[in-house]
């Protein structure tokens, strides 16, 4: 996550970040959900959508989850926004 956060915006577009997150989900115990404009609108995430309207790139809301411990324990979850 730190590596992605430190990239310049033109190398870390929302679509690139979503693609990278989906790639990580190919590993065991990792899942990924990527929400686009329609899903974000359905969830009424108006502030997020308002900020994203100033971008040439479509927004992405990424949920990357790692369940490495027992199922009875809470997962480690990274939630990030992709706005340029």
- Evaluated on CA atoms 49, 62, 1, 70, the torsion sign reads positive
Output the pLDDT for position 80. 66
d(CA 82, CA 52): 9
- 3-state secondary structure (DSSP) of residue 36: coil
**Number of independent structural domains in the chain:** 1
Query: What tens digit of pLDDT does each residue of 20-54 get?
Result: 999 999 999 999 999 999 999 999 999 989 988 88
Q: What is the mean pLDDT of residues 10-27?
A: 90
Host domain of residue 38: 2-82
pTM of the entire predicted model: 0.79
Is the pLDDT higher at 22 or at 79? 22
Q: Is the pLDDT of residue 83 over 80?
A: no
């Amino acid at each position: 996550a730190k590596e992605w956060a430190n990239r310049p915006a033109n190398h870390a577009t929302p679509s690139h970040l979503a693609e990278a997150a989906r790639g990580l989900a190919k590993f065991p115990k990792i899942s990924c959900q990527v929400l686009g404009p329609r899903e974000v609108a359905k969830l009424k995430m108006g502030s997020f959508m308002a900020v994203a309207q100033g971008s040439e790139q479509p927004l992405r809301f990424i949920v990357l989850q790692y369940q490495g411990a027992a199922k009875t324990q809470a997962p480690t979850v990274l939630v990030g926004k992709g706005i340029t």
